[in-house]
């Protein structure tokens, strides 16, 4: 098993170092240029859209609920254990590269969510479904590619990611934890809790994550702010260390080759695992929202990357860096190994605020990881819906997700960690190809939004037929006319043999740049 884990780790490192991080960052930069840096110039809009996103669902899933489903998946153990692992394996410089991945990833997340909204369909239960599999089938006219992506999502989310997250949850309630439950009891508790939520379907997940994810993220950030406030004089030095280490030659134990390569590789890999920008999972949640304009959800999902990495991951990094339980010297000497990543953040909080924090930290980690479990299960279910509309098939990913929760609580996940890194990389590369190919549609939607905002409309309404900013007409009736609010009169739709977007031969060609 150790030999298999080592081989998978070598494959994962090679893919990340030579392919994923270059394509991921390069795509983010390309989309940033195409949109005139939408993640910066529309940042105030992002906060404004979130503030008013709980209304307007019209009996479906609100924009805020869709945001919290994706936030629940983003803000999980990647923000706690992943950051700790990045620091151990890549040094403080890994945090800098996590920031870079997040900043360019905000543009990628914007396109993912916007395209998911544009090419979504109405499901048989009245809610919406969409995501990469759908915009591959409806936008690229390649249902086989969509099926491949859906299968990757079902395996990665419904099996690997859930096992990783459930293992983390078991760690905070199982043997050696404050609750000190036997492993079998911890697994049974997790299976029972996950079954209550996951078996209820997407709507129940939306209701639970609507309050769970934001509250726990806020509690964690407040705790971090208290710790940082107690060491505020060290902040300038920490920032200098993070930036200089990102480009410094000093090696760190456990890195791929040490120094800048270790920082770059681990920062990119853990940044992707944490914020999911470009991976193609969050768009499944984004598509479920009932909104008046696709860009509205694109802006909200872009903010999710900001919250996840720039806020929560940075908070974790500062907690660890201001404590005495971590230093590059400890890593170099072998006193601090990658195996310590699971407890490093909790140990850092305890070292700073006291041992009483063990229980609150266990609760925070439990909720963050559990919310990621139910969000990942949702992505798996939506992917199965793309493959087959038959209602009975929806139960398969739900049951697999619940079983994976129990297995993850009992298993040693060295192999699963490396496996999920590889499958996530394949998912990301597949999704990024589709994003670049369909970029003109996302740019057109943004130009339409910008034009309406310049006209003074606080709440732009999108029409996907006869829109001069688009390269053609969108398929289906979801965006067929003003006032549809993405609800329209669309009948439950399948993605089999979906007609391609109609060329708008009578319309002026959309330019490749974005309006500033």
3-state per-residue secondary structure call for 458-497: CCCCCCCCCCCCCCEECCCCCCCCCCCCCCCCCCCCCCCC
State residue 248's pLDDT score.
65
The pLDDT, as a whole number, for residue 508 is 36
Q: Is 81 helix (H, G, I), strand (E, B) or coil?
A: helix
The 10 Å Cβ neighbour count of residue 240 is 11
C-alpha 420/C-alpha 399 separation (Å) is: 20
Q: Is residue 259 left, alpha or beta, with left meaning phi > 0 and alpha meaning psi from -120 to 50? A: left
pLDDT for the residue 58? 56
pLDDT given at position 389: 78
**pLDDT of amino acid 159:** 86
Query: According to the model, what pLDDT value does residue 208 have?
Result: 62
pLDDT of residue 21: 79
pLDDT of 55? 54
DSSP three-state, residue 256: coil
Token output for 480: 């067929």
Q: Which residues of the chain have pLDDT under 50?
A: 57, 59, 250-258, 483-516
What global pTM score does this model have?
0.80
Q: How far apart are CA 314 and CA 429, in angstroms?
A: 26
| pLDDT in the model for residue 513 | 37
């Amino acid at each position: 098993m150790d030999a298999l884990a080592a081989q998978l780790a070598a494959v994962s490192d090679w893919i990340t170092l030579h392919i994923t991080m270059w394509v991921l960052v390069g795509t983010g930069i390309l989309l940033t240029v195409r949109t005139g840096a939408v993640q910066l110039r529309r940042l105030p809009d992002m906060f404004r859209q979130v503030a008013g996103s709980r209304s307007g669902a019209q009996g479906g899933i609100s924009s805020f609920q869709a945001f919290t489903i994706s936030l629940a998946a983003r803000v999980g153990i990647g923000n706690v254990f992943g950051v700790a692992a990045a620091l151990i394996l890549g040094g403080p410089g890994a945090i800098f590269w996590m920031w870079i991945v997040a900043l360019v990833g905000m543009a990628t997340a914007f396109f993912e969510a916007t395209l998911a909204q544009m090419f979504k369909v109405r499901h048989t239960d009245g809610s919406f479904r969409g995501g990469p599999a759908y915009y591959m089938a409806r936008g690229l006219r390649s249902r086989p590619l969509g099926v491949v992506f859906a299968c990757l999502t079902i395996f990665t989310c419904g099996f690997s990611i859930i096992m990783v997250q459930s293992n983390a949850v078991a760690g905070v309630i199982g043997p050696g934890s404050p609750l000190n439950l036997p492993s079998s009891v911890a697994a049974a508790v997790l299976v029972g809790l996950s079954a209550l939520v996951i078996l209820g379907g997407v709507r129940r997940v939306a209701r639970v994550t609507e309050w769970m994810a934001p509250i726990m993220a806020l509690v964690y950030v407040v705790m971090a702010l208290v710790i940082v406030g107690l060491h505020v004089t060290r902040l300038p030095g920490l920032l200098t260390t993070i930036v200089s280490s990102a480009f410094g030659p000093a090696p760190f134990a456990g890195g791929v080759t040490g120094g800048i390569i270790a920082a770059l590789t681990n920062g990119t890999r853990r940044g992707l695992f944490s914020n999911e920008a470009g991976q193609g999972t969050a768009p499944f949640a984004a598509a479920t929202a009932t909104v008046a304009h696709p860009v509205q959800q694109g802006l909200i999902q872009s903010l999710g990357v900001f919250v996840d990495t720039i806020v929560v991951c940075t908070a974790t990094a500062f907690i660890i860096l201001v404590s005495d339980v971590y230093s590059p010297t400890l890593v170099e000497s072998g006193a601090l190994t990658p195996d310590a990543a699971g407890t490093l953040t909790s140990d850092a909080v305890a070292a700073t605020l006291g041992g009483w924090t063990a229980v609150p930290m266990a609760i925070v980690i439990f909720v963050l990881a559990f919310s990621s479990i139910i969000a990942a299960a949702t992505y798996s279910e939506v992917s199965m819906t793309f493959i087959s509309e038959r209602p009975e098939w929806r139960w398969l990913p739900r049951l697999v997700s619940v079983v994976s929760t129990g297995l993850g609580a009992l298993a040693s996940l060295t192999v699963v960690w490396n496996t999920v890194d590889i499958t996530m990389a394949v998912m990301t590369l597949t999704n990024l190809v589709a994003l670049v190919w369909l970029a003109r549609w996302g740019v057109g939607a943004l130009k339409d939004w910008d034009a309406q905002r310049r006209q003074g409309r606080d709440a732009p309404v999108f029409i996907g037929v006869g829109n001069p900013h688009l390269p053609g007409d969108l398929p289906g009736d979801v965006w067929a006319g003003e006032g549809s609010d993405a609800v329209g009169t669309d009948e439950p739709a399948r993605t089999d043999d979906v007609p391609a977007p109609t060329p708008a031969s009578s319309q002026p060609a959309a330019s490749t740049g974005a309006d500033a």
